[in-house]
């Protein structure tokens, strides 16, 4: 009997090898079952390691296959949610439904996919996440539309949910390193999503032109059944690719940092010059004030994206100078916007919109000041990105808190009519 032969020859390497070569499958079964709990015997430890060894390539292939299956399931569920108005016969309300829910559904898909790739899930915190999504969906669909703060709620709830997605992505950890990893992850998703968007746009144009050539107008069908579902699952597909090839965007990140940070600086300088020449005052023109505030978001995104490249010694000095100039000019613009919103407070009184913009301007003003100081210190001390990166990560909880206030407390504070 093979089991007895193994026990007899356990200290005979050549004998065990002969048994193994005679019947590999049976040998494996018998040895592992006979010595399941044995961990100290050298020969048994060796054979267990040999028989149970799995090449890293196979492990990665299995993980990638699991990621792909998870992604497909999540994508199907996401598309189902985005098609709810058509499924239940509310075609006339589809546009309103998409405006309110599309960002929420996209983030839900990303959150579910992120959780599906983790080996351990904290059930208690998962329930918190489900509760937050449920409350957010109720507020944005049933409560917000009845109040004067509706536009603010529609904008800020997805931003708040984005923070919740980050909390889940980071396995419920909120350390600075986790925040930076999450921000980098979002930058990578944005890059890949942009690539998908360009490719999808080209494919859409070709498809519509081809069918129009044979007298078929498929524009409406294509928008509802391809473009809208495609946009919804693009971030999920990007997250899947990053699981397969996490290094895929490294080169692109460098290009974005090297090209877009100086381009953004030049754009801001031209913008300021134009404002001065044309006399476009944010104190008297609401549109100018709106523009001042909108541009703060991409500038902060470009600064973070570029900060991650400061570790590259070949371009570090170049980027430090560009980013310091960029953050300083943006800080100046933010101070002008802040003074303008205070002026409008004095002139026209308090409103939900003005209070929202005021809080955002105060946060970004303090944040940009801290970033500028740390960029200056980094240049003087010849340091790399950590001090600047930490200053970026440090402020995320403050943005999350303000977003929560605007999304969930403003409707109560300003009363729902």
- Residues 149 and 223 placed together within one structural domain of the fold: yes
**Helical packing angle, 24-34 and 42-52, nearest 10°:** 130
pLDDT at residue 4 in the model: 67
Burial category of 42 from C-beta neighbours within 10 Å (exposed 0-12, middle 13-18, buried 19 and up): exposed
Q: How far is CA 156 from CA 23, 338, 402, in A?
A: 65, 20, 9
Check pLDDT > 70 for residue 37: no
- Residues 48 and 66 placed together within one structural domain of the fold: no
- Residues 137 and 274 placed together within one structural domain of the fold: no
pLDDT at residue 131 in the model: 92
Instruction: Give the residue among 291, 234, 238 at the shortest CA–CA distance from 103.
Output: 234
Distance of CA 320 to the CA centre of its chain: 25
The more confidently predicted of residues 119 and 110 is 110
- Provide the number of structural domains found in the chain: 3
- Residues 176 and 274 placed together within one structural domain of the fold: no
Choose one of 244, 262, 288: the last residue of a domain.
Answer: 244
Check pLDDT > 80 for residue 294: no
Q: What is the pTM of this model?
A: 0.75
Choose one of 199, 228, 244: the last residue of a domain.
Answer: 244
- Residues 227 and 326 placed together within one structural domain of the fold: no
How big is the chain, counted in residues? 417
Q: Is residue 408, in this structure, part of any structural domain at all? A: no
Count of beta carbons in the 10 Å neighbourhood of residue 146: 10
Cα separation, 253 vs 296, in Å, equals 20
Cα separation, 120 vs 117, in Å, equals 9
Choose one of 36, 52, 68: the last residue of a domain.
Answer: 52
Q: Is residue 409, in this structure, part of any structural domain at all? A: no
User: What tens digit of pLDDT does each residue of 306-354 get?
Assistant: 776 666 556 667 777 888 888 888 888 888 888 888 888 888 778 888 8
- Residues 76 and 128 placed together within one structural domain of the fold: yes
Cα separation, 113 vs 55, in Å, equals 26
- Residues 298 and 231 placed together within one structural domain of the fold: no
Identify whether the C-beta of residue 304 lies closer than 8 Å to the C-beta of residue 187.
Answer: yes
Q: Name the one residue in this structure whose structure tokens are 């940092």.
A: 257
Residue-number span of the structural domain to which 15 is assigned: 2-52
């Amino acid at each position: 009997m093979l089991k007895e032969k193994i026990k007899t020859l356990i200290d005979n390497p050549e004998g065990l090898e002969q048994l193994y070569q005679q019947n590999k499958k049976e040998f494996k079964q018998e040895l592992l079952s006979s010595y399941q709990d044995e961990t100290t015997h050298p020969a048994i430890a060796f054979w267990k390691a040999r028989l149970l060894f799995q090449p890293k390539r196979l492990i990665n292939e299995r993980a990638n296959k699991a990621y792909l299956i998870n992604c497909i399931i999540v994508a199907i569920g996401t598309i189902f949610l985005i098609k709810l108005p058509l499924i239940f016969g509310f075609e006339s309300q589809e546009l309103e439904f998409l405006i309110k829910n599309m960002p929420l559904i996209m983030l839900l898909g990303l959150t579910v996919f992120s959780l599906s790739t983790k080996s351990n899930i904290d059930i208690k915190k998962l329930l918190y996440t489900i509760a937050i999504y449920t409350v957010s969906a109720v507020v944005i669909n049933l409560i917000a539309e009845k109040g004067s703060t509706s536009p603010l709620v529609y904008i800020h709830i997805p931003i708040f949910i984005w923070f919740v997605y980050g909390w889940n992505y980071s396995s419920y950890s909120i350390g600075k390193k986790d925040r930076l990893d999450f921000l980098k992850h979002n930058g990578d998703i944005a890059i890949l999503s942009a690539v998908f968007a360009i490719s999808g746009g080209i494919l859409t144009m070709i498809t519509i032109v081809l069918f129009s050539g044979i007298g078929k107008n498929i524009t409406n069908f294509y928008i509802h059944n391809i473009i809208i579902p495609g946009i919804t699952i693009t971030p999920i597909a990007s997250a899947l690719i990053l699981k397969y090839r996490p290094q895929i965007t490294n080169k692109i990140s460098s290009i974005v940092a090297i090209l877009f940070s100086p381009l953004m600086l030049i754009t801001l300088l031209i913008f300021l010059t134009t404002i001065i020449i044309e006399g476009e005052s944010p104190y008297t023109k609401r549109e100018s004030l709106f523009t001042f505030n909108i541009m703060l978001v991409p500038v902060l995104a470009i600064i973070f994206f570029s900060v991650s490249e400061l570790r590259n010694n070949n371009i570090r000095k170049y980027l430090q100078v560009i980013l310091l100039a960029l953050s300083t000019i943006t800080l100046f613009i933010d101070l002008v916007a802040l003074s303008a919103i205070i002026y409008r407070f004095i002139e026209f009184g308090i409103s939900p919109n003005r209070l929202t913009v005021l809080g955002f301007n105060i946060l970004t003003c303090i944040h940009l000041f801290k970033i500028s100081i740390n960029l200056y210190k980094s240049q003087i001390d010849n340091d790399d990105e950590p001090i600047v990166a930490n200053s970026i990560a440090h402020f995320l909880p403050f943005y999350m808190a303000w977003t929560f206030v605007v999304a969930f407390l403003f409707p109560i504070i300003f009363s729902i009519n």
